Structures are given as C-alpha cells and as structure tokens.
Structure 1
Amino acid sequence: MHCPFLASIDLASYTNPTQGLDSKALSFIGNVFAKLDQTSTDDAFLYLQQTVGLFTTYFDVSSLSSTDDIISLLDSGAAKVFVNRQQLDQLVSNKIDQDRMVLVLPGNTKQEIIDAISGTSVDVYSHQVRDIELVEAWLKEYGTDRPEVFVSFASPDIENVLKLSKLSAIPIIPAELLTVDPKVNPESISVSAVLLSNVTSDRPDGLFTTLVTDERGIALGLVYSSEESVAESLRTGRGVYQSRKRGLWYKGESSGDIQELVGITLDCDHDCLRYIVKQKGRGFCHLATATCFGPYRGLSRLQQTLRRRMSSAPEGSYTARLFSDPLLLNAKIVEEANELCQANTKSEVAFEAADLFYFALTKCIASGLTLEEVEQNLDAKSSKVKRRKGDAKVAYTTKPATQDCNLNGRMSNEAVKGNSSSLKANNNPVKLQEERIQMRRYVTAEEPPEKIQEALRRPSQRSSEQIMGIVHPIIEAIKTRGDAALLEYTHKFDKAITLTSPVLHAPFPHSLMQLSPETIQAIDTSFENIRRFHAAQKEEKPLVVETMPGVVCSRFSRPIERVGLYVPGGTAILPSTALMLGVPAMVAGCKKIVIASPPRSDGSITPEIVYVAQKIGAESIVLAGGAQAVAALAYGTESVSKVDKILGPGNQFVTAAKMIVSNDTSAGVSIDMPAGPSEVLVVADESANPAFVASDLLSQAEHGVDSQVVLIAVGLTEPQLAAIDDELHTQAIVLPRVDIIRGAIEHSVTLVVKDIAEAMMLSNLYAPEHLILQVQDAESVVALVENAGSVFVGQWTPESVGDYSAGVNHSLPTYGYAKQYSGVNLGSYIKHITSSQLTKEGLRNVGGAVMQLAKVEELEAHRRAVSLRLGVN
C-alpha cells in the first residue's frame, strides 16, 4: 500500500485543531507525522494508545536522547521513526528492523545528501527544503529503484508539493495547511490534488480504476473515480464515485445503502485507487448482495449473520440464547478451546477451530467488538519489537492439556458443564457433581486466635499503588479533555461504539422504558417501601437549645444541592441500586440528581434504570462507568453536570476514584463511603433451617468471585454442619452463576463456636456488610451487634429483601468499614447547619468566658469583638 503523503500534526491539538484537517479528515488519509522532543514523548504514547487502527503514525525522534524511548515507541505501534545517524547505528545494534527507520539527512546540499545515504539502504528524510530544484535533481539522479524519500518544506505550497510527488517522493505537509474542501479554503493545499498527483490512468476518459473494499480488505466492487469525485468523497466522508454515464455517483443516495468513508489509498503502481468503506444497508451490489462478487464468505459472513441475530434473532435461535446468557457463551468458548487442543487430524482441527471461531466471534459481537478491531489488534501486535518469552501460564502447563481452563487460569471443568446444555459427553469424563462446592471449616476452640483472624481476612485486592497508577491518568484525562475523554474511555472499557454524547437528559423518552407490567409493579412496590422508610427519617423541626439565659443555639438541615449516584453495571443489571440511591435523594429534596451507569454495547442504558431515573426526577443519566464516570461527576464536563457529593458502590477502580476526588480540594466533592466486594455473615444455631442458611450464603457469593461469605455456626454438630454443606453444594450447582460462586467460596469460611457471645464477638470483629441472625430469639441478639452495615433478623428475613423491597437501604459499608461508616440513609443527602442567637443579656452572660479564652489564646481581635459590644476594656 503506497503512502502518497504525510500530514504533519501537533499531538496536543490534533483532535481539535484551530484550522486545517480535523481528526476525521486525517483518518481518511491515514498517514500522519509528528515531531517529538523530550517533553512530548508521554503525549506520543497516549496518542498511539488512542489511535490504534486509525492512523499509520511516523515520528521524528531525532532530538530524543533515549534509545529505549524510541524502541518503546516502535513497540507501541509507531510505523517508522525518523532518526539521526547515531540513533540509526544504535537501533541497528539492537537488531531493530531497518524498514522501521528513516534517516534524517543532516543537510540539503547535494554532497551532504550523498555522504549521508552512502552505505545505507534505509529510507531518508530531507527536511525544511528550500531549494526545490536541487531536490528534484538528486531525486532524478537517485532514480526510482531506491528506498522511500520523505520531504518537508520550508514554505509548503501546492506547486512544490506536486513537483516532488510526481518524482515519487513522499511530501510531509502540515495538517493546518491542508483542506478537503478547496472551494471553501482556496488558499489551502487540496488533499485530493496531492493524493492524485502521482496517479496514472490508461483510460481515454482519464478516470481512475477504483477498487472498493471493506475494512477487512474484502473486495466489494470495481468502480471509477475522478479528481472531482475523490474531492467530494473527502469533503462529505462518503463513498462518492464517477459514473461513466451520470457524473458524480453518491453511493446509496437512492437505495439507502450508503458508505461511510474510512480511507483512500493507492496501489504500488499508482494506477488504481482503493476506497476503504463501511458499507451500510443491504450491501454494495445493486443485486442486494454484500459484494459484486457474491455474498460474504467465512468469518465476514459469520460476522454479518451474528449482527443480524443480535438485533433480531428468530425464536429458538441458539445464537440468540448465547447473546442472552454470557455464562453459557463463556463456557462454550472454554469447551471448544479444550476440544481443539484434543484434535489430532487435519479435519478434526478444522472442525474444532471453526467451532471456536464461532463462539469467540459471538463473544466479540456481544461486546460491541468487530472483526476489523480484532485484526487491528493483531496488526498492532505484529509491529512490536520487544518479544516476550511466550511460555504458557503455570495453570495451563501443570495439568493435562485435555482439561478445561477458564479465563482466570484456574482449572474449570465445572464452568463448562454447569452452563452448557449441548456438551459432547464423551469429552467430559469428570462429572460436575464430583467437584464439591464447600467452605473451609474451623472449630475456634481448636485453633489459635491468630489463625481465626487470618481465616476472616477478606480476599486480597490489587495494591493501592497499582490501582492509583491506573486511575490517576483517567481522572486527569477527564479533567482536561471532558466529553471527548469520557467517550473514549466508554468505548474502550464498555465497548459502547455508537455513543455521540455521554449524557441522556430528562425527560427520558418513553421508548427507553419498555418494561413488562410485572417489572414495573416490582419497581413501584420497592420504590414506595424505600420512600416510606427514608421519609420517616426526616427531622420534624430544627433543634433549638437555650444553653444559658439569652443564648439560643439551633441546628437545622438542608439537602445537598447536587448529588451524583453511581449505579454499577458490571456482571449484573442493578436497578435496585438506582432505587436505593435515588429515592432518599428525592425524599431529601436534592435539587439536581445525576445518575451514572455503564451503557450496553449498543450505547443504550437498561430500561429499568431509565424508569427509576424518571420516577426519582433525575436530571440526567451519564452513560459511563468506572473511574471516568466518577471523575465526570466530580469535575463536570461540557455535558455532565458537576455534583457536590458522589454516592454508590463500585469496583476497586470506582472506589479509588472516589477517594482521589474527595481528597482533591479543586473538585469540591464528598463521597458516601469507601467500598469493597459484597459480603455476608450468617450466624446460625441448631434452630436454623439448613436450606435457608445455604441460600443466604449463596445470595452474596453470586455477586462476584471477590465476594466473601462467612457462616458462624453456634454449637452445631457434625451432622448439622454436613446438612448445611450439602445444601450449599446442591443449590449452587444449579445456579446460572455457579462459576462465580466457586470463586467466592474459595475464600469463604465456616467458624464453629461454642455460644452466641463468641459468635457476636467474631461478627463485630469482622464488621460485615450484611449480618443475618438465624438463631433462637434473634431479636434479643440484635442488642449484641456493634459493627454491621445492615442486620436481618430471624429465619424469615433473607438478605434479598433488604437488597430490593423491604425499605432499608442496600448501599452499605463493606470490607470492614462498618466499624466507621453507616450505610446510605436520608442523612447521607442532607447537611446540618448550626446557628446561634444572643440577646444583649446573653452576651453579658457568656462574654466573660469568651474574652478570657481569647486572651489565653492571644487572639485579641476575638476578644475585642465582645468587649466593644459590652463597653469593657
């Protein structure tokens, strides 16, 4: 693929230039150039991360001192680096491919050029050229059978650019001097003119043969172009060609099968254009097929089918079931990977590989990912110059290759067998039921206290340094680049590829709240119960106390004006969290309520959350999750309203972001509490129903593999403990999230204690998010609770009712923070203001004490504020 020219950009402003080409127009060319210095290398790495697959990027690094930085740039995706002679020799000694380097010529005289290029076969760069005739002369002498020659100009103009382009040099032109619309910007250099300067045509009408392909390079059809049609394509961002009969042909104008322009390139002989497009509608051909050479085949055909199935799957479609059941899909990927490992003959390998491709591509489409993006990732990996050893992880080499492995590296036959209804039984000799789901057990009387404390340790989280290192750059990007950064992170982390705005504003369209009557009734019931409980927490009137005659002190409450509610959307849809956070905010009277929640891959938000947002009177929904959503709420963006307090649970990145912004005085924002993974502690005695106990433990274990559940068994015998263990396993293996439950149970424990006093001592030490008391006379045991987020009393009070509909709040302190924090309540949304009012008599009564203490503290102005009023010295 020939590179006709490079657009020179400033990394700091390429996405929002003051003049010239914007990032979209730049992407049509696809080839960009940037000069780096010691202060801009960080910008270069960030740019490469953001533009993978969009641009082929060339960097002038001749002023950099670090060879390691240059190698890292190549490893991060730079197409070529422009280097001085010393750097070239160092990179060659590091065994860097010379095709990735361009030698910057030290001067522009003929002798300097000859001396520089002698003995080397790398591409060369003549920069800031003034003597165009001299460069023309040595290009002609150099000939065409040579490495590439890049040229930049001291004073770029269209005439000089075209002169050198016709000699097959590659001009480097500042992007601010280029235009895709020469009629509007006649003083600028026309992109189409430079692009076509070296193109030839053997047709009598002078039209250029044009091959139209999709992003994967699949040929869609053959058409013709002219300089006018190319200019119009670049101007409109669409596929526009030259019809031999009708003039300009705007593809899809009548049929609706339009094309979005991705890029325009040349072939090696410069006699054929290649249009790369995103084809919309039925396809390219007038016969309504994907291509003029027939329908798609292979992976492209499968991708087309999967996209249709995702939007309108026929009833009973297996693919539709995979889209709606991610655990089944994950299990099938693991199963097919295992079967590919077992395949021996050529036909067996082809059969199993095809199965694996099908399920893997289904996973991609479900995540909003395309084959083109996967291939871009492959291309990016191929450009790396640093190579890892490439050994398999230990978990995959220490067990026989015929066993299944899940994506966390743990051996996981059960994840496959528990979630797939169409397994090949002869390839799965180990039965799921043989692998018990069981908690570790300790008898406290038989173990030292240190071991019991160790058993109650929460699952280890990633180090705070590691988390902060990831979160800080995200927060800074949101602070400095606002909506643009928010959309980029949403696309990157949530795979929401269609968003044009990060915010959905009220009033919310009814079409976004299409719910079943049963779901609406359930939300309405929960809403009302939560409202009643939190409304009862309102203070009836201000607190007024006369502390001494004539001295009246009061305290009154006011709602926090602007609140941001973070509703997670990772492994489950959580409208219940929207209710728990939103209803108290509404009851408190907060003037502005903003919800933030990750969007689905198609850019939409779950209808349940939209329905709740409408009921609580939310101003807007921010379509983002993670640290980027927290930062947007804390600092505000062009579209996101800044808030005064952020509430809601989240993963480690969300928690870290909340802690960072709450400690940043420029943000001016507070948070509800730190948070960790979900947890429950169940205290059970001989009166407890084993099935109830197991169900309560599993209801929290299914939240995530980092969740923890604890059972404190008060005086239970071995048969009674075994009954709970049996129930736990029997109930778990039929649950759809059994693989998550297994991960949680791995770090969960049963503690056998002698009496209720010891049980509550350990419970208070652990300070659980949820405490369930399945014991005799449970109500009386509540008096022993010192540390807990929320308590569920008696066998008829499962934790689930607190999560959804009883009325208490489920946004609670976890990871032991119940020792210091309350769960979310009405008080979380209000602030207290105190006031004092004194009569003259009151000031006389208290004035002496005030003046004396001010004197002791040597604050004379304080003392005089009283003495002046009382007329004393």
Structure 2
Amino acid sequence: MLFPIISIPQSKAPENEKLLKSLSILPFSIYTNTQNEKQVEFTEGSCLIYSQAPEFGDLVSDLDGGLDIAYLPYSHFASFAEDLVQYKIPSSRIGVVVANVDELSAALSCSEVLELSGYIFVESVPDLCQLDNLAENIQSYVAPNSKRVWRRRVIVNISQPLIAIDTFDSFAQKLASLKADIALSSDLISLDGRGSGVSLSKAFISATGLSSDREDGLFTTIVQNQAGVCLGVAYSSAESLANALSFCQGVYWSRKRGLWHKGLTSGATQNLLKINVDCDADTLQFIVEQTEPGFCHNNTLTCFDTINSCSTGMLSRLCSTLSSRLSTAPEGSYTQRLFKDTELLNDKILEEAHELCEAQEKKDVAWEAADILYFLLVKCTAHGVSLRDIENNLALKHKKISRRPGNSKNPKLNKPDTADSTAAPSQTTVSSLRTSLDKVSFPGPNDPILMRSFDSKDLSKDEMHELFKRPIINSDQIIKTVKPIIDQVKANGDEAIRQFTLKFDNVSISDVVIRPPFVVPPLPDSVKSAIDVAYDNITKFHKAQLSDTLTVETMPGVVCSRFSRPIERVGLYVPGGTAVLPSTALMLGVPAQVAGCREIVVASPPDKSGNLAAEVMYVASKLNATAIVKAGGAQAVAALAYGTETVPKVDKICGPGNQFVTAAKMLVQNDVSAMVSIDMPAGPSELLVIADSTSEPSFIASDLLSQAEHGVDSQVVLLTVGMDQKFVDVVQHQVDTQAKRLPRVDIVRKSIPKSYILNFDTLKEAMDFSNQYAPEHLILQIENAQECTSMVNNAGSVFVGKYSPESCGDYASGTNHTLPTYGFSKMYSGVNISTFQKHITSQMLTKEGLELVGPSVMTLAEVEGLEAHRNAVAIRFAKTE
C-alpha cells in the first residue's frame, strides 16, 4: 500500500491543489503537523502523525472528528496505554511512530504496542537491508489471526536519498518481500513523473504490488458507484491508471480502442473518488461518481441492467431519480408538490414514522420502511444531501470514540443507569446546546440582558460545531413569500411596486422613480460635513484599488493581457427599515463611481410621508446617481432586475438587506431571463471579538452591542483567551448596563440571548475557532493585535486593537462595510472596486508566435476531436508556407 505524507501547511497551499486532489483518491493519506497545527477537517482515510505527544482529550477529539488513524510517538506510547484500554479505542485506529530500525525492533517486542496498535511507522531507514534481521518479526506483526480479521501494517518512509541511490522499484520489491508498506512524501511524488520524484501511478503500482496474470498485462477493474453498486467491469493499464489519477476521472484501457476516457464524447463522465486493489493485488477497484445516463453504452446505470431490472441499488437509483425530478418534475406531479410544500413533506415523514412504529409483521415493516425512506430522500434531495453524504455521516458516527447515553427526549423513557461509562465528561450536551440556540428565552424589561457562556474545555467537537451555526433562517418559507412578489413586478411593473409599497410600508406613492437633478432637503452642516469626510476617505481607499492593464508575453510572439471595464448599469439597494443608512449608500456608491459605472441606480424604501431620507438623497447627489427608486424589499430587487416603465434595468444588484431582500437577490440571479448578477449572498449582521487580559471590558461590550442592535436576528460572539469567570462577569455587566441605555434595547433583548461568550486557553485555539466561524466583522482586542492579523484566514473586515471600533469601518475610516455574513467570508470578499468591474482578457499572436504555439493547439484539438479548432491553425500554416 502507498501512504503519501502531506504536511498540514502544505495541504493548505493552492499550488499543490491538483496533486493533493489526486492523492486523496488513494485509500490513506498521512498528515504531519510539524508546526503543531491541526487539520481543520479529517476526510476518509486521514492519518495524522503527532510531532509531539498530544493531550489524550485532544486525541479522542480528533478520533471523534473523523481521524482514521492517530500515530503516536513511541517514546510516549506507554503513557497512553491505560487510557487506550479504558476508552476501548480499537487498535485499528492507533499507530506508533518509531525513529529508526532500533526503535522498530523495540516496538515489535513491546507488549503494549502489539496489543494496542495496528500500525508502526518507521521515519528513517538509511539502508533497507537493515530490515532483513527483523523480517520474521515484521511478518508476524502484520499477519492476521483469529482475534483480528484485518491486517496490521509496518510502513517505511522512503526518503529522497534512497530514491536517488537506486530505482524506486527495487525498494518497493524489497519492502514487498518483507510484507511492509511504503510511505512517500508528497514532495517526492509528481503526476507526470518529471523531475527527481516518482510518478504517482508508478508509486501506486510498485507500493501495492499490482500485477496481472493476463497475456496483455491489463488489470481487471471493478467499477462501483458511491453506494457500492457495481456499474461494470473494465480494464486498466499503467498508462490509463496514470491518466485516471491525474484527471481524477474514470480513464480505462479499451482492448479495441486503447486509452478510453469514459464519457469524453458521450458526456457520461465519472469523477474518480477512491481507488484500491484487492487482496491478491491483481484487480483494481474504482469508486466513481457516475453522471447521467450511466456507465453502460446502452444508456443504463450499470452494464447489468435489463428491461426487468432487479432491485439492487434501488436507494442509489431513487436518489438519482429524485435529483433529476428536482428540476424536471412535471407541473402538478406528486414529487413536485413534495419539493415545493415543505409543510406537506414534513407531515408525511412524521406520518410514515408513526406507521413504521405501529407495524409488527415483517412485510408491513418493510412496506412502511420503504415509504419513509422515500420521503426522507425527498427531504435530503431538496436540501442537496446525497446518499454519499448520509453514508459519510454514518461513517463519522461509527468512528466516534466517545459514546453518549442515547437517551430519548422524553425523560420518562430514560433510566438513570443508562449512561455509557466511556463517555467523555462534558457539562453541556449537544441537544441542550441546540435547544439553547433555537429556543432562546428572552429577558423581560427588568431582567438582565446576558449572553450565554461556555468554556471550550467542557465542549465536545460536535458541541463546538453547533456554535458555528447562526440563528436559523427558514429559507423555504421566505422564498414562498418572495417569489409571487417578483412575478407581480415582472408582470405589472410600476403598479405592482406601488401596491407592495402600500401593503408592506403603509405608504402611498405616485412616482416610483426620482430623476436628477435631485432636490435634497435641508441637512445640518454637521451631518453634511460627516458625510463629506466619509465620502473622501472611502474614495481614497477605493481609488487605490484601481489597477493597470496586465500584459504578459507567455512565449515569444504570444502576448496576453487582462484589462478591467466597469459594469455599465448597477443597482444599489440601501435599506431603510428600522434605521436610515446613508453609510450604505456611500459604501456601495463610491466604489461604483470610482469604477466608472455609466448608470448608478439607488433603491431605498420611502418614509411614512412617501419621501426618501435627506441623507440618502445627499449621498445620491454626490454619486451623480442616474435614478433613485422609492421602493424597498423584494419589489425593489425585482424592479432593478427586470426593469419597469420607469425603473431602469441593471446588470448587477449590490447591497445588504433583510432575509426577503437576500432571497429576492438569489432568485433573480438564478433567472436567466433577468440577466443580472449580485454581489454576494448575505444573512443577518454579526461580529466576533477576541479578547485577552489587555482588553477593556467596556470597549468589548460597546462593540458587541454595535452589531446586536442591527436586528433581532443579529449574532455577536466574544472569544476570551485565558480569562476567568470574573472577567466574563464584568463583560456581562457592561453589556447589560450599556444595552439598557440604548433606544433600540428591545432589539438587543432578542439578539444578545442568541449570542455567546466562549473561553479558550490559547490564542491559537481562539483564532482557529474564528476562522471556522468566518465572521462578518472581526475585532482583535488583544496584545500585539497587528502581528496576529497573519493568523486571520476568514473574515469580512478586521478591526485591529482596542482603539479600532467596528463603527469606524461602518462609516468613515475608508474600508467598505458591505461584507459577507453567515460564514460566507470563507469564499466571498466585501464590496470593492472589483465588485463593479469585469475583467477581459486578450491575446495577440505574431506569425512567429503562432508557429511556436500552434502545434500544441492542433495536438490538443485532435485529442478532443475538434477538427475545426485544429483547422483554424492548420489553414494559417498552409497559407504561410
């Protein structure tokens, strides 16, 4: 077996993405935490070598989190023995790391290693001949016996000097004779075999001992989908295996046509998920994700399908059918009703669950179980959950070391002696934590306004994961409300906007659009001056983001360039709701103006008199906006997306809003007829503060409340580093005292109880949590805050030091305050100049340039079977000869 070794920092580097994706197809990958980092998420086949002996609680937490095999230093292994036995951790989940052959010899004779581990990893062997003396002990260790049906393994790390001295094959054969496996650093592996490393396909074949007894030397290959259904039998060669590993797709060797990239012409491609060899090392197993219509050339899922197909793999087939029906189910069909009517689907699940509980006879149980499986899979499909996702979740639960009592939510059914003695101690259970998130008790007028408080040491990995979740949004119900509004605006234009403005805002308007020159109502000089300062700072910051044309000569005579152009027509949504927000008009309008957008259309809801806020009007005049739409909510988004008699249609819609505005933006973006894009998905406002002993509690409380007052669905989080309960109590007192002075205290009474304080022992733990949470606003009220920004991977905007309140970013420091929320800062940036630009590439080839690159173009066109592409080059070559 081949065990690739990947350092955790390296595993996060984008330049290694292609190789690491190919390595993930192998049964196992060994990660090393050389910088004492931990992998964020363990996937199937993950192994971890601890550079230092971990705390046993951390070990259990990693195994619970999906780590397959934990490799512990041999020098510390004895100290883990008692706990390994007490927690009943299977030896198949534990490995031992030895430094050299001498330590290997000691480990192979150590009773604790023999009893409690299933793997021994040898870090360094200068000369493989040194292993000969231990051949008998190694073979005894790896041999299965009546107590253990799986094979233990000794894994030897092959280093660069060994590869340089001789061929990789000779070392592989030597280790195979000893019944040992190969570990190889990913730095020594390449996809194409170039350089000083070993090609991945060659390393895999050598390490597994893959061989063929066929005259043509091909390897029989069993092809299965994720559900374990056999799709068919194919053949592989060394060449096809190299291509399969490189492309991460199903590539085989046809005995008639040679190299066969499955689906390249038909479209029925396969994503290669896992590859393995059988016990005799003469047959390959490919686990693939098969696209429609299926594996067989007869357009069936498997090569074994007939007209009266058997029931094998019916769950997999049902999932495939439901996925197709999600977008193509006939109007009025039962399946479509279930997808659209969440209430009906949930009711059917409960109904079938009750009938299953009542069933007694075998056939009745099977009948009711089939019914509930159907409705459950409809629910899963509607939420993008595949059968593979369910199996992965079951596998993760199977891997858990910590066990919980498994009690019912009905306390009458729970017995006091049902607790599992091996359960890890915890003061807070997942179920109670989830209840406190979803069913919060809100304080009365005279009650203290407090955040929930936890200590990370008391929480399991699952419980910590619950804290990443935001207050739940019922998106299905919101979309049901928003879709008819959008349809009405599309059909009836301005009249629909007037009707919805009267219905939702209780305001009657006659003119939907205001055109320039805008008549700005009088404003206090102090307000105008504040807006001017903010406008100037935001303009300076965003002008600095403009970039020149990028020009690169990729080879002589081939010049490629990239240049930006403004999006011509943009719509800026400025919420009105519970607050007047000229700052949002600035944050959206200034970068659009700096980018050079030809049309800037502002949409904002009117006040009770049917007028727009004077502050927003003043900003619109500074932006030279081309129109202002007096509307909010989904109706404003629809008007901008499709246009009306008076509202100009735009090409992109930007700006924050409530759940209905966000849903409307998502819907119009997905409607091809609208031809409109949006800036980002968004949820309620949020903020996370990291604090230590240098922090000022009153500052912390003020920052938390600055976001908590936005809306009842806002969430704020405080992470304390090494602080005791006394510090937490002071912060809680400040939150309560300051909150009760606020005019929006009624909103805070709803948002603060949904928020929480979480203590960590170290700054790194707090930063890791913050990066997983991915907050909209991150405040670092810690010592040496500037130095710690290098640890920030995910955040919308960072506020560094105790004198950088979030309010400054919201208004006038210069950065943008329209930011990704709800965890979307993991993949989206806040609004910036690029939000209002698109980038165009160009290329210019001279005759000499075409002569250089042309042969490669023609070859690739031939590979893809696109003759006209090849001819476009060939005809120029012929003309110049």
TM-score by structure 2 length? 0.50
With the length of structure 1 as denominator, give the TM-score of the two structures. 0.50
